[in-house]
């Protein structure tokens, strides 16, 4: 029942919020909802570990004639991503509370709706449900960026919408096609879809449809060009939702749907499709070097890091996949941390341009310390969250193809180069006009950062619980592949 509650509760609140008058308490109500939701997810976690490490399933026949049923479940992989979602949403809401937001009730309604959609995506075990929730998340993401965004928001968000939407349509076609290839009577149930009967030609097309849909969402090179612009133009909450959570939908889709259904295509093509994310790692890292806009730099770094995750998952190696799942969580935490910091900096200095910043550490040492710790997580220093995932991905990849691992491993070097160079120009050195009067963080501002830093170190030092959850997820995928 918890599974259903996790989806329905935010959905109802979102609808309620939508029709409520604007005001300060819209944000507070949203925050309270998100915190309750976090509590429910922790309860689900407890239940998961108490009862047999297995699926917490909600299953109800619905449109039986069409083989569509309300099948939602929580396994290890779902649990990881639900925890990530319910952990990050309160942080995202909290960090937006200080700002003046027009039509705030709609804004928060959309964030909560997004949460419902995300959890629906992460728990759906029915192909049609997966698709419905997948599209459901696009609506709030689109409106948040289009209505509350910055410069050129209409043009950029249209591109974002059209791009991701066309990906989704491909996926819809693939799912419906698969449905007709399932054994009689047809069904959208994941087990049936996994068992669908495809000849090699069909297999390839289905794979491509899924791959493109998910690659756009992550995004994987070369389908990423919507992403930097959208991250830049979206309000901070939007960038956090997109970078921290929505990108995980693509990766999740690969692991839950694409790989179990079309893994033979991945083995048959012998790593050809792994090349795209691997190229993306180097390509995006190189581009990140020269970016002046902090948000854009974070966006490109995200393409690089998520490329590694996608590549890891697509190697079909158990260790790499395990790492991919851990890294999905770590990346979400780190990127939201980075966006919060950039938000604080921009709020104080009115600029995100690296060239105009400098010497912040002199005036705001606390900000500098939080920035450094989250940066270390992002460049995968051992004992931070980034290391565990990237280490396992690279280790698994090395078994799969040593050259890919060596090239992907360049992220270890490049990540340090662009991040430290950025840190040096923004935080170190002497102050400039924009940063002369910068104030340090106060306690209220530090709360979300403390939560993030705790996670950075927790996952880095004692990843046991997360590893167990991921192991369950990996076990299922590998079980199907074998």
370 binds other proteins (CB under 8 A): no
The answer to the question of residue 402 lying near other proteins (CB under 8 A) is yes
- Residue from the set 257, 398, 455, 456 that interacts with other proteins by CB under 8 A: 398
DSSP string, 449-482: HHHHHHHHHHHHH--HHHHHHHHHHHHHHHHHH-
Q: Does 355 bind other proteins (CB under 8 A)?
A: no
- Judged by beta carbon, residue 197 or residue 430, the one nearer other proteins is 430
Segment lying near other proteins (by CB under 8 A), choices 236-244, 342-350, 397-405, 441-449: 397-405
How far is CA 295 from each of CA 13, 100, 286, 288, rounded to the nearest angstrom? 31, 20, 16, 11
Nearer to other proteins, 173 or 416 (CB): 416
Of positions 23, 150, 185, 222, contacts other proteins by CB under 8 A: 222
Task: Report yes or no: 335 and 298 within 8 Å, Cβ to Cβ.
Answer: yes
Residues in contact with 326: Cβ distance below 8 Å, sequence separation at least 6, in sequence order: 385, 388, 389, 392, 459, 463, 466, 467, 470
Distance CA 128, CA 119 (A): 15
Judge whether 285 and 410 are in contact, CB under 8 Å.
yes
SS3 84: helix
Smallest Cα–Cα separation from 80: which of 363, 447, 312, 327? 327
Tracing tokens 């692991």 back to the chain, one arrives at 255
Minimum distance between the CB of residue 197 and other proteins, rounded to whole angstroms?
A: 29
Print the binding letters for residues 150-169 with other proteins: x by CB under 8 A, - otherwise: ----x---xx-xxx--x---
Contacts (CB under 8 A) with other proteins, residues 248-287:
283, 286-287
Spell out, one character per residue from 43 to 62, where the chain touches other proteins: x when CB under 8 A holds, - when not.
Answer: -----------------x-x
- Distances from the Cα of 378 to the Cαs of 27, 143, 188, 292, 301, in angstroms? 29, 29, 38, 19, 9
Write out the H or E segment, with its range, that includes residue 198: none
Helices marked H in 76-199 — which ranges? Answer: 76-96, 104-123, 127-148, 153-181, 190-194
Residue (20 or 420) nearer to other proteins, CB? 420
Q: DSSP labels for 13-80?
A: HHHHHHTSPPSHHHHHHHHHHHHHHHHHHHHHHHHHHHTTT--EEEEEEEEGGGTEEEEEEE-HHHHH
Instruction: Tell me if 204 contacts other proteins by CB under 8 A.
Output: no
CB of 200 to other proteins, least distance (A): 28
With binding defined as CB under 8 A, does residue 467 bind other proteins? yes
Residues 72-131 that bind other proteins (CB under 8 A): none
Nearest to other proteins of 163, 179 (CB atom): 163
Whether the CB-CB separation of 55 and 17 falls below 8 Å is answered with no
Which of 38, 192, 207, 226 lies at the binding interface for other proteins (CB under 8 A)?
A: 226
Nearer to other proteins, 351 or 409 (CB): 409
| Piece in contact with other proteins (CB under 8 A), picked from 27-35, 197-205, 237-245, 378-386 | 378-386
Instruction: Kindly tell me which of 114 and 261 has the beta carbon lying closer to other proteins.
Output: 114
> Do 396 and 320 form a contact (C-beta atoms < 8 A)?
yes
Give the phi and the psi of residue 218 in degrees, each rounded to 5.
-60, -55
Site string for other proteins, 17-46 (x = CB under 8 A): ------------------------------
Residue in 31, 294, 361, 426 binding other proteins, rule: CB under 8 A: 361
Q: Choose between 157 and 196: whose C-beta lies nearer to other proteins.
A: 157
Nearer to other proteins, 146 or 232 (CB): 146
Q: Whole-number minimum distance, CB 50 to other proteins, in Å?
A: 20
Stretch 304-323: interaction string toward other proteins, x if CB under 8 A: --------------xx--x-
Task: Report if residue 373 touches other proteins, rule: CB under 8 A.
Answer: no
Q: Is 143 in the site for other proteins (CB under 8 A)?
A: yes
Question: CB count, 10 Å around CB of 183?
Answer: 10
Closest CA to 370 of 275, 272, 455, 437: 455
Structure tokens at 111: 């964030």
Torsion of CA 175, 176, 181, 182, to 10 degrees: 70
Stretch 427-466 residues interacting with other proteins (CB under 8 A): 427-430, 461-464
Q: Which of 22, 202, 346, 471 binds other proteins (CB under 8 A)?
A: 471
Q: Select 27 or 389, whichever has its Cβ closest to other proteins.
A: 389
C-beta closer to other proteins: residue 221 or 262: 221
In this chain, which stretch among 48-56, 189-197, 200-208, 402-410 interacts with other proteins, using CB under 8 A?
402-410
Nearer to other proteins, 89 or 303 (CB): 303
Residue whose token pair is 């709030």: 140
How many residues belong to the site for other proteins (CB under 8 A)?
Answer: 72
Closer residue to other proteins in complex, CB, 150/222 = 222
């Amino acid at each position: 029942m918890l599974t259903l509650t996790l989806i329905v509760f935010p959905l109802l609140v979102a609808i309620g919020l939508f029709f409520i008058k604007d005001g300060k308490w819209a944000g507070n109500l949203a925050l309270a909802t998100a915190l309750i939701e976090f509590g429910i997810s922790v309860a689900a976690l407890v239940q998961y570990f108490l009862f047999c490490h297995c699926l917490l399933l909600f299953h109800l026949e619905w449109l039986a004639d069409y083989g569509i049923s309300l099948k939602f479940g929580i396994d290890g992989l779902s649990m990881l991503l639900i925890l990530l979602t319910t952990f990050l949403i309160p942080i995202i809401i909290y960090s937006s509370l200080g700002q003046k937001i027009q039509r705030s009730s709609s804004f928060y309604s959309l964030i909560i709706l997004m949460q419902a959609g995300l959890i629906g995506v992460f728990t759906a075990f029915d192909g049609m449900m997966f698709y419905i929730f997948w599209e459901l998340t696009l609506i709030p993401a689109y409106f948040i960026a289009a209505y509350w965004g910055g410069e050129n928001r209409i043009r950029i968000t249209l591109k974002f919408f059209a791009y991701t939407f066309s990906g989704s349509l491909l996926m819809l076609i693939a799912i419906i096609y698969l449905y007709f290839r399932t054994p009689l009577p047809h069904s959208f149930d994941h087990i049936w879809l996994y068992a669908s009967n495809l000849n090699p030609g069909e297999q390839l097309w289905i794979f491509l449809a899924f791959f493109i849909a998910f690659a756009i969402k992550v995004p994987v090179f070369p389908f990423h060009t919507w992403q930097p612009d959208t991250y830049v133009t979206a309000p901070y909450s939007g960038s956090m939702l997109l970078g921290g959570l929505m990108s995980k939908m693509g990766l999740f889709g690969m692991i839950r749907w694409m790989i179990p259904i079309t893994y033979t295509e991945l083995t048959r093509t012998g790593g050809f499709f792994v090349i795209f994310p691997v190229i993306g790692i180097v390509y995006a890292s190189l581009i990140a070097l020269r970016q002046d806009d902090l948000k854009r730099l974070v966006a490109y770094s995200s393409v690089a890091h998520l490329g590694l995750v996608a590549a890891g998952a697509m190697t079909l190696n158990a260790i790499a996949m395990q790492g991919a799942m851990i890294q999905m969580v770590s990346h979400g935490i780190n990127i939201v941390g980075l966006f919060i910091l950039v938000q604080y900096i921009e709020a104080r200095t009115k600029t995100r341009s690296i060239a105009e910043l400098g010497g912040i550490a002199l005036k705001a040492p606390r900000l500098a310390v939080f920035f450094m710790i989250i940066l270390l997580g992002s460049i995968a220093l051992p004992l931070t969250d980034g290391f565990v995932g990237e280490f396992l991905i690279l280790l698994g990849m090395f078994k799969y193809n040593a050259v890919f691992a060596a090239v992907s491993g360049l992220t270890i070097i490049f990540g340090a180069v662009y991040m430290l160079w950025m840190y040096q120009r923004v935080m170190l050195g002497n102050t400039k006009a924009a940063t002369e009067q910068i104030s340090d963080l106060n306690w209220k501002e530090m709360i979300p950062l403390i939560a993030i830093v705790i996670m950075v170190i927790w996952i880095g030092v004692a990843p046991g619980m997360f590893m167990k959850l991921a192991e369950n997820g990996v076990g299922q995928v590998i079980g199907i592949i074998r």
